[in-house]
Amino acid sequence: MAKSDSKKKSDSKKGHAEASPKATGASEKADGGGGEAVPKISVRAQYIKDFSFENPAAPQSLSDTAGAPKIQVNVDVEAKPLGEDHYEVSLRINANGTREESTIFVVELIYAGLFALENFPKDRLEAMCLVECPRILFPFARRVIADATREGGFPPLLLDPIDFGRLFRNNRGGGTAPEKKG
């Protein structure tokens, strides 16, 4: 059974951002009398920024008779402004598989996206960068991790979904309570 420890940290964020009506529940049109712009979020690009897979004990580690490995997963979120309404949001995922105190695989991934956040109130930018943007990126990063472990000779490592909102709230409360998955 996999165990996940998730952490989140943020860098400074500046600028204006916009969320799509789907993300916020807002209508497509501006508010009747106020003429306010509707928040909008768009993904300009997503990419593997850094990636590594190590299988140091192969081929012995690939033996089916050796038992299931103990897996530890750490997730970190970083966001940085790139000017105007653009932000780079990165998911850093590290997964280590061990068996009898020996490392059988190590996966390190930084999966990032370039987001345009337009017409968001300044007080919502941090949550957009550290909750909504990682939520969009996570399924793609999860797939990269699963494919890498499968191609490395192991069953695919299917990461459990992460509640980025809860992590954000926990970190804003002063403590960095890691999310643990069974």
Q: What is the pLDDT of residue 100?
A: 85
pLDDT band at residue 7 using 50, 70 and 90 as cut-offs? very low
Question: Which one-letter amino acid corresponds to residue 155?
Answer: P
Average pLDDT over residues 20-47: 66
List the one residue out of 140, 160, 148 whose CA is nearest residue 105: 148
| SS3 category, 44 | strand
Sheet with 102-118: list strands edge to edge. 40-54, 102-118, 86-99, 70-83, 2-6, 179-181
Q: What is the pLDDT of residue 25?
A: 40
pLDDT tens track for 60-119: 888 766 678 899 999 999 999 998 899 999 999 999 999 888 899 999 999 999 999 999
Domains in the chain, ordered, with CATH?
Answer: 2-24+37-174 (3.10.420.10)
End-to-end alpha carbon distance in the chain: 6
Question: Which one-letter amino acid corresponds to residue 169?
Answer: R
Average pLDDT over residues 9-36: 43
List residues bridging with 59 in a β-sheet. Answer: none
Q: What is the pLDDT of residue 125?
A: 93
Q: What is the pLDDT of residue 34?
A: 60
Distant-in-sequence, close-in-space partners of 165: CB < 8 Å, separation ≥ 6: 131
